Structure 1
Amino acid sequence: MNDTPGWASPGSAPSEGTQPDATGAQPPEQPSGQGGGDQPQTPTQWSRQQPPPGQWSAPHPQVPGQVPTPPPGAGWGAPPTGPGGHGAPVGGHGGWGAPWGPPAAAKPGVIPLRPLGVGEILDGAVSTMRTHWRSVLGIALGVSVFTEIVAILFQKLVLDDRATAETLSDPSSSAREVGRAMGGVLLSSGVVFLVTLIGTIVATALLTTVTSRAVLGKSVTIAEAWRDARPQLLKLAGLTLLLPLIALTIFAVGTVPGILIAAGGSTAAGVSLAVLGGLGAAVVATWIMMRFSLASPALMLEKQSIRTSMSRSAKLMRGSWWRVSSIQALAQIIAGIVGSLVVIPFAVIAGILSGDGMSGLFNGTGDGPGWTFLIISGIGSVIGRTLTFPISAGVTVLLYIDQRIRREALDLDLARAAGVQSYNAAVTDATPGS
Structure 2
Amino acid sequence: MNDSPGWATPGSPSDGQGSDGSRPPTQPSDAPKWSDSQPPPGQWSSPGAGQAPPPQQGAGWGPYAPQPGQQPGAPYGAPYGHSGGPGGWGGPPPAAKPGVIPLRPLGLGEILDGAVSTLRAHWKTVLSVSLVVAALVQLGLLGTQRLLRDNLVVSTDETATPDELVRLMNDTMLAGFASYYLQLLGLLLVTGLLAGVVSQAVLGRRSTVAAHLRGVRPMAPRMLGLTAVLFLGALAAGMLPALPGLLTGNAVLTVLGVPIGLVLLAWFFVTFVLAPPALMMERGKVTDALKRSAKLVKGSWWRIFGISALTWVITWLVSVIIAVPFAVIAMIVSPDGFDGLLSGTSAQSWTFLLVTAVGGLISLTVTVPMQTGVTSLLYIDQRIRREALDLELARAAGVHDHQDHAAVGSRPGGAGPASGG
TM-score, with length taken from structure 2: 0.67
Equivalent pair of 1:239/1:296 in contact (CA under 8 Å): yes
Q: How does 1:353-368 map to 2 (within 5 A)?
A: 353-356=333-336, 363=343, 365=345, 368=348
Residue 211, structure 1, aligned to residue 190, structure 2 = no
Equivalent pair of 1:251/1:281 in contact (CA under 8 Å): yes
Q: Return the letter of the residue paired with 1:112.
A: P
Q: How does 1:77-92 map to 2 (within 5 A)?
A: 91-92=73-74
Residue 415, structure 1, aligned to residue 394, structure 2 = yes
| Superposition deviation, residue 292 in structure 1 | 1.1
Q: Give the Cα separation in 1 of the matches to 2:305 and 2:178.
A: 31
| Superposition deviation, residue 51 in structure 1 | 6.0
Q: How does 1:381-396 map to 2 (within 5 A)?
A: 381-396=360-375
Residue 336, structure 1, aligned to residue 316, structure 2 = yes
Residue 119, structure 1, aligned to residue 99, structure 2 = no
Q: Return the letter of the residue paired with 2:299.
A: G
Equivalent pair of 1:351/1:357 in contact (CA under 8 Å): yes
Q: Give the Cα separation in 1 of the matches to 2:47 and 2:307.
A: 60
Q: Give the Cα separation in 2 of the matches to 1:190 and 1:280.
A: 15
CA deviation profile, 1:172-212 (whole Å, cap 9, x unmatched): xxxxxxxxxxxxxxxx9999999877754543332222111
Could you say which residue in structure 2 is the equivalent of 1:15? none
| Superposition deviation, residue 123 in structure 1 | 0.7
Q: How does 1:278-317 map to 2 (within 5 A)?
A: 279-280=259-260, 282-317=262-297
| Superposition deviation, residue 237 in structure 1 | 2.8
Could you say which residue in structure 1 is the equivalent of 2:120? 130
Q: Return the letter of the residue paired with 1:332.
A: W
Q: Percent identity?
A: 41
Could you say which residue in structure 2 is the equivalent of 1:83? none
Instruction: Please give the secondary structure, in 2, of the residue aligned with 1:128.
Output: helix
Equivalent pair of 1:258/1:277 in contact (CA under 8 Å): yes
- Structure 2 residue runs of 5 or longer lacking an equivalent are 15-24, 37-45, 55-59, 85-89, 159-174, 417-421
Equivalent pair of 1:361/1:368 in contact (CA under 8 Å): no
Counterpart selection for 2:325 from 345, 355, 369: 345
Q: Give the Cα separation in 2 of the matches to 1:257 and 1:368.
A: 28
Equivalent pair of 2:334/2:346 in contact (CA under 8 Å): no
Equivalent pair of 1:140/1:203 in contact (CA under 8 Å): yes
CA deviation profile, 1:134-182 (whole Å, cap 9, x unmatched): 2222322343345446765x589x8599xx789999x9xxxxxxxxxxx
CA deviation profile, 1:318-377 (whole Å, cap 9, x unmatched): 110000000000001101000110001211122113342665566465894244x34432
| Superposition deviation, residue 256 in structure 1 | 7.5
Rg: which structure is higher? 1
Q: Give the Cα separation in 2 of the matches to 1:325 and 1:150.
A: 28
| Superposition deviation, residue 131 in structure 1 | 1.8
Q: Give the Cα separation in 1 of the matches to 2:231 and 2:111.
A: 26
Q: Give the Cα separation in 2 of the matches to 1:239 and 1:258.
A: 30
Residue 245, structure 1, aligned to residue 235, structure 2 = no
| Superposition deviation, residue 406 in structure 1 | 0.3
- Change in Cα spacing, 1:338 to 1:193, as seen in structure 2 (3 Å) is closer
- Change in Cα spacing, 1:319 to 1:378, as seen in structure 2 (3 Å) is same
| Superposition deviation, residue 69 in structure 1 | 7.7
- Change in Cα spacing, 1:408 to 1:276, as seen in structure 2 (3 Å) is same
- Change in Cα spacing, 1:50 to 1:325, as seen in structure 2 (3 Å) is closer
TM-score, with length taken from structure 1: 0.65
Q: Give the Cα separation in 2 of the matches to 1:204 and 1:257.
A: 32
CA deviation profile, 1:23-64 (whole Å, cap 9, x unmatched): xxxxxxxxx9989xxxxx7545578x986998579xxxxxxx
Equivalent pair of 2:7/2:76 in contact (CA under 8 Å): no
Equivalent pair of 2:47/2:64 in contact (CA under 8 Å): no
Instruction: Please give the secondary structure, in 1, of the residue aligned with 2:93.
Output: coil
Could you say which residue in structure 1 is the equivalent of 2:43? none
Q: Give the Cα separation in 2 of the matches to 1:338 and 1:297.
A: 24
- Change in Cα spacing, 1:352 to 1:429, as seen in structure 2 (3 Å) is same
- Change in Cα spacing, 1:232 to 1:56, as seen in structure 2 (3 Å) is closer
Query: Greater shift after overlay, 230-239 or 129-138?
Result: 230-239
Q: How does 1:139-178 map to 2 (within 5 A)?
A: 139-148=129-138, 154=143
Q: Give the Cα separation in 1 of the matches to 2:293 and 2:103.
A: 21
- Change in Cα spacing, 1:425 to 1:365, as seen in structure 2 (3 Å) is closer
Aligned residues: 356
